[in-house]
Structure 1
Amino acid sequence: LMAGPAMDEAGACIFEVMVHMTEAGESEVLLVGECLFAYVRLLQQSPVSEELWKEIRCVEEMNFRFRSVSDPVSVVSSLAHSMQDKLPIEKVLSGPAKVWDYDAAEIAEVSAMLTCARLRVVLATKSFTEQEHCPEVERWYGTRYGAGRLPTEWHKAWEARRTGGADELAKTAWLQDLALPMPNPFVAEDLELKPRPPSGVPQHPRRVVPLPSALERAMASECAAAAGAVGRVLQVYFRQDDKFDLPKACLNVDIYSPWCAESLENRVASSAWAQAVAEELNEFAYDAEVAGLYYSLSASSRGLCLRFAGYHDKLPVLMRKVAEKMVAMQEVSEHTWTLVQTVMLRNFSNMATTKQPYQQAMEWEQRCAMKTAVTAAELLECFQKLTREKLTGVSKKLLGQCYAEALLQGNVAEDPGLGEVMEALLPAVRPAVAADALPALGSAALPGGAGSCVLVRREGTNPKEQNGGVTVTLQAAEETLKNVVFCELANQVLGQRCFDELRTKQQLGYIVVLQPYADGLGTGFCGLRAIVQSEKHPAEVHRRIDAWLAAALVDLASGLSDEQLGEYVEALLAVKREKPKKLADEFGRNWSEVAQRRFHFGRRGEVIEVLERPRAELLVEFRAFVSGCLIPAPRIAVEVLGAAAAASAAEAAEAETAPYEGATVTLSGLQDVKAFR
């Protein structure tokens, strides 16, 4: 449910209320409208609240004053738009972003315009039929639609709700829950920057050892039960901000649970439970989001992921509320389960049937090579067997035996702020399992000799999708820092050439990408991956990718001068030297080191050091890497057949021929993949 101005152009403004409905809700549009106009009545018949207006002004003022820098294109576009609105030059920046003068009469006048006489209703649903609901076709994209007057039944019922007296409204019980907003408990009051240590702030996050004393004491009993010190079951990394000077903070916590990692069933149950927690916190989280605080709770293959961000002042309040709900959610109500089941079933179904072909290809590649990877179809099948009763007790299973790692960064002082923030999570995050009890991640070393290929062939899951997809991945070497840098440099040279040849010249499709990849496990592999989505038969696309790669890699190894390669080295260095523009950007870089459990926060600096080595020495090693690792690299390729190629008998015959002689293994179904793994 969202509401606000949807268009404010040339003196006209549209106030829009958008409601995303479940399948059951699609047949209750009349009831949805009644609820909306009952609230409009409440709004129109209540005095304008100056206190609520001041709260809104306060939030808008904070958001304007402390907003992070956007990308230059968006900033320029926004400024140009504001200048077209003939704003005073001193308000070009602040005019669209802030609330200015309080005028109760004007607010009431605008509120009074919310009537059925000024109403336009737009309904979009897959259940509409062309003949009955959408007989017309718009001329630009051929979209089917229908238009007409608002049904008389709707008009009468909605206006009755808007104009009805209190006695009439009292007859409907659910309308009694409607109320104007209460004061928002999450609006920040402390916006001061915290004093920094006299010795300065370390350049990178550091592990907090020992943990704050209050946190140590609160966790002592759990850790004693695990026969280990607190530091073995909870690791906290921390960096106080000294660059962006904003009263904000970011906190991520990964909660690793052996129970979640035991089976796909447990993983899906964990995901459903996390969605149920979020569903029951929706109303509460709305106030937090309005006040500039955000959180998310999701499940991974090995546990839970908690994310918090926003103004530091009230962040612990939000964290404590989320933690308390996580602990209290021992059972999921029938109402909540119905909502969660509907949304998750739709999402899993869409993932399993309507993914882009290139995404399907990448999914099957991961399923072959990554230890914890599963397909969307497997997730859907598992979720369809899940019942509400199976979510009972999931909270204790997840949180009762777990290990946690966290990163806190922003306007928080280490003492006492760090302890206060982390203690807010203690109701839920009480880890009692050491890190060495976690199941390991892993990626498969591809079989075969130089140039060998594991080939996966699949039909696309969406019969209406004309395109197919192909990925060709070269597993070049182990994932060391230097090897990853060389893969990135190879992509710096070849990325645009790949697009120019396969997209522009050969016209294979709109999606043509060459990218470096690294498993991100510390003990995995790295290399290059080519991605093409095309209406041509995937076997033909595969052959063209292979032909281009063969010539391009040979040219990369011996066809470019030191001066030419040096230009690409400088271009990659410029990318690596670029400073983060926002706290969230810097936090994201650091969190990737925690999430991948490498904790190598100085990695970017070391990458720069590799690229800044004596140029001749660097290029000799790079060419040796291309010749010795990239050119003979074993490959895994996935071909996803689209509807256009499947309909062509001539192209279908091409599929019988392997793209190249090195295809040592050919897989076609899930059982083949499981046997291969």
Structure 2
Amino acid sequence: MSDMVVKRVDDIIKSEEDKRSYRGLVLRNQMKVLLVSDSSTDKSAAAMDINVGSLSDPDHLPGLAHFCEHMLFLGTEKYPIENDYMKFTSQHGGMSNATTFPDHTNYYFDILPEHLHSALDRFAQFFLHPLFTESATERELNAVNSEHEKNVSSDNWRLYQLDRHSCDPSHPFHKFGTGNKMTLDIGPKERGIDVRDELLKFHAQWYSANIMSLAVLGKESLDELEAMVVELFADVENKNVEAPSWPVHPFKAEQMGTCTQVVPVKDIRNLNIVFPCEDLSQYYESGPGDYIGNLVGHEGPGSILSALKEKGWSNKLYAGYKEPHRGTGFFGVSVDLTEEGLKHTDEIILMIFQYLNMLKQSPPIRTYHDEQRDIAAMTFRFKDKESPRSYIESLTHKVQEYPFEHVLCNHYLLTDWRPEIITQVLENCTPDNIRVAIIAKKFEAVADQREPWYNTPYKLFRIPETTLESWRNAGLSKELHLPEKNDFIPDEFDLYPADKDITEHPAIVKDTAITRVWFKQDDNYLLPKTNLMFDFVSPLAYLDPLSCNLTHMFTQLFRDSLNQYAYAAELAGLNWELSNTKYGLILSVGGFSTKQHLLLEKIIQSLCEFKIDPKRFEIYKENYTRTLKNFSAEQPYQHAVYYLAVLLTEHSWTKQELLATMDQVTIDRLEAFIPQILSKMHIECFIHGNANKQKALDLVDIVENRLSEAVRMSPLLPRQLLLNRELKLEDGCNYLYNIQNDIHKSSCVEIYYQCGMQTKQSNVLLDLFAHIIQEPCFNELRTKQQLGYIVFSGMRRSNGVQGLRIIVQSDRHPEYVDERIEEFLRNMLSHLEDMPAAEFQKHKDSLAAQRLEKPKQLSMQSYIFWSEITSQQYHFDRANVEVEYLRTVEKSDVIAFYKQLLAEDAAQRHKISVHVLSTAEGGAGCDNPAHSVLNGNVENNLTPPATTPSPKQTTPINDITVFKSAHGMHPLVQPYMNITRKGNKCKL
């Protein structure tokens, strides 16, 4: 044993289907290490978890742990250039990121396998010798602040911080974890505190090897990985610190028995209740929290949710145990409220207590635990392979929490039965231990307090004793009972023998006027799972805004009606989804193959016999209307992406147009609409996985025969199967569409440079150019110029047309940001021209590796095939074909591509921008210009600062309809393979 390794564990329990090799190490500096050897991987990955997070922030510097996480990316003694680490991962087919949690911080990356050692070397310096340079510290404060500003109008963040704010003020959970300009810059400077010094102190105090866990996945053998890790991480200092834990609960007795009425940003309605309990993590082999959560959160007959739906009070309910941080836990129930349900929150809580009383009246039942155990064991045995990065990221913190032997199987192999722990948790769920939060817009009139960091309005009061007493005496309910035995749990896992004529890609195995069936027998993943996809194409689905709304209502009401039955299937690993698209309805069924046909039969039978429940209709109509209205509260970048799609897509109904027709959506109209959409359509099917050709045809017959019996189906005409086209922008154009948003303080710019139709050559050149500029774009606009936290560059492909897009969400004025993006793009010509041949080759190799990376799961491969089918391009070998062409591309080709389509003076340049201007208080478009936009000195206003360079003359888009009517459309991309258009064989 190396003198640098004091412990080695090779008997880590893994799934029967897992072909990787594992080893656990404890280094001499007490760092824990998990090694994963996978000779077949096309990506290597690593992650480091430090058992300290935002709860350990100094009281006078909220957000310091999060700020430290940001700063570690910006230079170390060995690699002082700020963007060296991210540039290296980007150039070698990888990416990197990090997350700060309340009690730990996680850093991770992936990389092409041959560059693992070099990436790990750079990564290790984070924990050895970070620089925390003064210039980077000053600038990165803006990124932390921008990240906070992004979250200010997010209801999830607001509710989480309000929960922390309302706990015991002396408990660390009370802290503000993310930090902002005030806590990390303005406030400290006023008190004479040097934040850089504090960063150095924090890193020196807490970044200790004995509270770190490292996980590394690579092609190398375990011995080679071990040698690599010892070489690079054995010198991380062990400061013998103790990982903090907080066994004292953040909510004392005086914080219990309270109700908080919260005003959200979006028009949402929720009831959240929590009961404090002990940290259950030590009982992972028996799963007591899951036992209770699975029963309280059940959605089948006799469940709380079913009873609430019957009364018209709720659509969704979630229940379960969670750990806010080490040492404590909560058991919580969250109920989505209807308008009527908001009037009956006390009765809903009473019903929850009635269910809890039912669980308490007798000892925990072993059969429910055994069913949970069997499902978990089945899931573990046939667990889908994850991408190396997400897999390693998820494992690294588990190394801190569990013995090496159980790092993979924790919560999956429930080998223990601890009914006394279940009883203990249940006994703690009493009215005297409850905390209630009700979230709804209607509380605006009564809210009398504001949470300081997010400015969330709320009212906090003690629950009346009469209400608590009614809950204490809740008794039982005849409506509620325990779930029946789950008959969907698979009882066999055999694989179908391979067909003699098995194909490499999907092939058509049936083609009629109404149905076309694509089939691909899986010969790669070899799991007892199958994915079924059915595209019910109907021109009625998106004929006009009213039809679109009716189709949406149909799918939502149908899903709701089948939920009780299908929930058991979902628990047993069978998932299904019915959704509406521009072209009709898509039904997908995925999971274990054995009993898939039973679920499919029930779905199609129910579809044919569907009857509208008037009560559920009114609830879903109101819910859908709120969803359309709530779009205004989405992030500014989401608005930019949405409006660009509206501008460029041939047919696209806006949220406003959909909302305007909701008053025409009636039960009578929907009842008449459903048989119309089902009777005239085309069914495009794809069966992929554990099935042979005959099984695939049998599954399709279930759908086709049932529908044919229920409705008289007739085929569509060929032109009714044509897809939407994309607007064709003219050469030299520079369009601008302006919109305003009064909710978020941030503004946003999305610039799209349309590059024409997809072809092999244009796809590759655009991919390569986007890959080359990705890291410089982030480094320049985000890291150096600090324009905003959200900076994205990449391709946009839609309807067979593609282009380059750059998105920046910023507190600066959109016109200023637009010019900064243009300046960046101007500089990319010299960046390309000066690029050494070796660096250009790295980009090509990196892109090739990304394109050739094999999907890790059957479902991901199914999605890739299905996308080719629904786009009617059928280029199933696209990655290999395009990478073959990529290898022939020269730097001069990319420069020519840039000069032809992207350069500012390019004759064939097609630019369109969407500017989302914030008119919220403090926003770039508000009347009080408080934000600086240029180097922190120039005030922001409705117009850009005078010092901003004048942009190229733009053409404003004042009316979307007029704009679209003045443009032609790109033709559709023709199929890659020779395939007969549907309907061509049919006689007129």
Q: TM-score, normalised by structure 1?
A: 0.86
Asked whether the 8 Å contact 2:575–2:591 carries over to 1, the reply is: yes
**Correspondence for 1:550:** 826
Matched residue type, 2:353: F
Note the C-alpha offset of 1:661. 4.0
The answer as to 2:464 corresponding to 1:186 is no
**Correspondence for 1:391:** 670
SS of 2:749 mapped into structure 1: strand
Change (3 A) 1:300 1:395: same
The answer as to 2:808 corresponding to 1:525 is no
The answer as to 2:685 corresponding to 1:406 is yes
Matches of 1:486 and 1:539 in 2, distance apart? 29
Greater relative CO, 1 or 2 (CA 8 Å, sep 6+): 1
Which of 14, 19, 23 aligns to 2:339? It is 23
Which of 538, 544, 555 aligns to 1:274? It is 555
Which of 916, 933, 951 aligns to 1:640? It is 916
Query: 1:239-278 alignment to 2 at 5 Å?
Result: 239-278=520-559
Note the C-alpha offset of 1:134. 5.6
**Correspondence for 1:202:** 503
**Correspondence for 1:172:** none
Which of 860, 874, 893 aligns to 1:585? It is 860
Give CA deviations for 1:463-516 in whole Å, capped at 9, x if unaligned. 131222212111123211220111010011112112222222222222221112
The answer as to 2:437 corresponding to 1:122 is yes
Asked whether the 8 Å contact 2:550–2:673 carries over to 1, the reply is: yes
Change (3 A) 1:349 1:141: closer
**Correspondence for 2:470:** 157
Give CA deviations for 1:162-192 in whole Å, capped at 9, x if unaligned. xx3xxxx5xxxxx433111011122111212
Give CA deviations for 1:77-108 in whole Å, capped at 9, x if unaligned. 55454444454x43332232232234556545
Asked whether the 8 Å contact 1:499–1:512 carries over to 2, the reply is: yes
Matches of 2:883 and 2:739 in 1, distance apart? 41
SS of 1:203 mapped into structure 2: coil
**Correspondence for 1:215:** none
Note the C-alpha offset of 1:11. 6.4
Matches of 1:261 and 1:123 in 2, distance apart? 37
Query: 1:221-240 alignment to 2 at 5 Å?
Result: 230-240=511-521
Give CA deviations for 1:204-253 in whole Å, capped at 9, x if unaligned. 22221xx3xxxxxxxxxxxxxxxxxx523212211122222221111221
The answer as to 2:879 corresponding to 1:604 is yes
Matched residue type, 1:40: L
The answer as to 2:728 corresponding to 1:445 is yes
Asked whether the 8 Å contact 1:452–1:662 carries over to 2, the reply is: no
SS of 1:155 mapped into structure 2: helix
SS of 1:275 mapped into structure 2: helix
Matches of 2:886 and 2:320 in 1, distance apart? 50
SS of 2:594 mapped into structure 1: helix
Matched residue pairs, number?
A: 627
Give CA deviations for 1:601-625 in whole Å, capped at 9, x if unaligned. 1111111111123x5xx44433332
Matched residue type, 1:100: T
Note the C-alpha offset of 1:12. 4.9
Note the C-alpha offset of 1:572. 0.6
Change (3 A) 1:493 1:423: same
Which of 692, 697, 706 aligns to 1:419? It is 697
Change (3 A) 1:473 1:99: same
Which of 782, 785, 794 aligns to 1:506? It is 785
Asked whether the 8 Å contact 1:253–1:306 carries over to 2, the reply is: yes
**Correspondence for 1:223:** none
**Correspondence for 1:137:** 451
Note the C-alpha offset of 1:641. 1.5
Matched residue type, 2:358: L
Which of 882, 894, 901 aligns to 1:622? It is 894
Asked whether the 8 Å contact 1:491–1:515 carries over to 2, the reply is: yes
Asked whether the 8 Å contact 2:633–2:743 carries over to 1, the reply is: no
**Correspondence for 2:65:** none
Matches of 1:39 and 1:302 in 2, distance apart? 43
Change (3 A) 1:84 1:149: farther
Matches of 2:588 and 2:668 in 1, distance apart? 27
Matches of 1:268 and 1:635 in 2, distance apart? 33
**Correspondence for 2:815:** 539
Matched residue type, 1:205: P
Considering only aligned residues, what root-mean-square deviation do their CA atoms show, in Å?
Answer: 2.8
**Correspondence for 2:188:** none
Asked whether the 8 Å contact 1:361–1:470 carries over to 2, the reply is: yes
**Correspondence for 1:217:** none
**Correspondence for 1:220:** none
Matches of 2:613 and 2:592 in 1, distance apart? 32
Matched residue type, 2:771: Q
**Correspondence for 2:628:** 348
Matched residue type, 1:67: K
SS of 2:512 mapped into structure 1: helix
Matches of 1:191 and 1:527 in 2, distance apart? 45
Change (3 A) 1:115 1:62: same
Asked whether the 8 Å contact 1:295–1:307 carries over to 2, the reply is: yes
Give CA deviations for 1:262-310 in whole Å, capped at 9, x if unaligned. 2222111111111110111122222121111111111111211112111
Matches of 1:297 and 1:90 in 2, distance apart? 41
SS of 1:122 mapped into structure 2: strand
**Identity over aligned pairs, percent:** 27
Change (3 A) 1:435 1:492: farther
Structure 1: which 5+ runs fail to align? 170-174, 212-229
Matches of 1:655 and 1:105 in 2, distance apart? 68
Asked whether the 8 Å contact 1:326–1:428 carries over to 2, the reply is: no
Note the C-alpha offset of 1:160. 1.3
**Correspondence for 1:65:** 381
Matches of 2:625 and 2:493 in 1, distance apart? 42
**Correspondence for 2:308:** none
Which of 314, 324, 335 aligns to 2:605? It is 324
Matched residue type, 2:714: A
Asked whether the 8 Å contact 1:367–1:373 carries over to 2, the reply is: yes
Q: TM-score, normalised by structure 2?
A: 0.60
**Correspondence for 1:34:** 350
Matched residue type, 1:206: A
**Correspondence for 1:221:** none
Matches of 1:369 and 1:280 in 2, distance apart? 36
Matches of 2:780 and 2:627 in 1, distance apart? 36
SS of 1:393 mapped into structure 2: helix
Matched residue type, 1:120: R
Asked whether the 8 Å contact 1:326–1:395 carries over to 2, the reply is: no
Change (3 A) 1:428 1:442: farther
**Correspondence for 1:433:** 715
SS of 1:579 mapped into structure 2: coil
SS of 1:273 mapped into structure 2: helix
Which of 720, 741, 748 aligns to 1:469? It is 748
**Correspondence for 1:227:** none
Which of 496, 505, 508 aligns to 2:775? It is 496
**Correspondence for 1:219:** none
Note the C-alpha offset of 1:368. 1.9
Matches of 1:250 and 1:235 in 2, distance apart? 16
Structure 2: which 5+ runs fail to align? 1-316, 930-939, 968-988
The answer as to 2:592 corresponding to 1:311 is yes
Change (3 A) 1:146 1:72: farther
Which of 391, 397, 408 aligns to 1:93? It is 408
Matches of 2:686 and 2:715 in 1, distance apart? 19
Matched residue type, 2:568: D
Query: 1:364-375 alignment to 2 at 5 Å?
Result: 364-375=643-654
Which of 928, 950, 958 aligns to 1:668? It is 958
Which of 305, 319, 325 aligns to 1:3? It is 319
Change (3 A) 1:108 1:182: same
Note the C-alpha offset of 1:371. 0.8
Asked whether the 8 Å contact 1:82–1:92 carries over to 2, the reply is: yes
Note the C-alpha offset of 1:10. 5.5
Asked whether the 8 Å contact 2:443–2:458 carries over to 1, the reply is: no
